[in-house]
Amino acid sequence: MSESVAQLTESLLKMLQNETFVLLNTVDAESGGPTSTAISWVYAVNATTLRLAIDHRSRLVRNMKENPLVTLTIFGEGTVHAINGRSVVKIDPLPEVPFEMCCFDVQISAVRNALFYGAQLESAPKYAKTYDQRAAEKLDGQVFAAMQKA
């Protein structure tokens, strides 16, 4: 682990302005325990703010409304980054998307290397969408456009 900074590096900022796989860690509103969920609707507004779009059917919406402290885990640049911050509802519901979503902004309080000492990632995780590719591209386009306008 290394020292933390309170904003994204230029390369992380660029990475997070494109579709990226991240783990969103929240505090579960029912159990009070930690949760971790993979998401891809994340967008870096600038070096100190991340924007997330979350389906209202997800427990994450309630979790973040009740306890705004979050950590996003990002795999890239040969390492694992932990981004700590405080989430706040930006817009709810997010307009111009086909189902009800909540848009959150995360104000970054710390960015740190979370990989154990002496290690380097050889590759970042990759994922494939398992539903209709055209539908996935259309939905992603709608969500990211709405997030950028919010």
Domain of residue 105: give its range.
Answer: 10-149
Per-residue pLDDT tens for 12-37? Answer: 999 999 889 899 999 999 999 999 99
- Whether 1 is in a domain gets the answer no
- Whether 130 is in a domain gets the answer yes
- Whether 29 is in a domain gets the answer yes
User: What is the chain's length?
Assistant: 150
CA distances from 132 to 124, 127, 129, 136 (A): 24, 15, 8, 6
* DSSP structural state of residue 17: T
Per-residue pLDDT tens for 63-108? Answer: 999 999 999 999 988 999 999 999 999 999 999 999 999 999 999 9
- Whether 2 is in a domain gets the answer no
- Whether 3 is in a domain gets the answer no
Give me the percent of the chain exceeding a pLDDT of 70: 98
Q: Give the count of domains, the chain.
A: 1
Provide the token pair at 150: 């919010």
Instruction: Name the pTM for this structure.
Output: 0.91
CATH classification of the domain holding 35: 2.30.110.10
Residue type, 98: P
- Whether 4 is in a domain gets the answer no
Three-state DSSP string of 80-129 = EEEEEEEEEEEECCCCCCCCCEEEEEEEEEEEEECCCCCCCCCCCCCCCC
**Block residue for tokens 């990211």:** 144
Handedness of CA 92, 95, 97, 100 (dihedral sign): positive
* Strands 101-113 and 79-91, bridge-based pairing: antiparallel
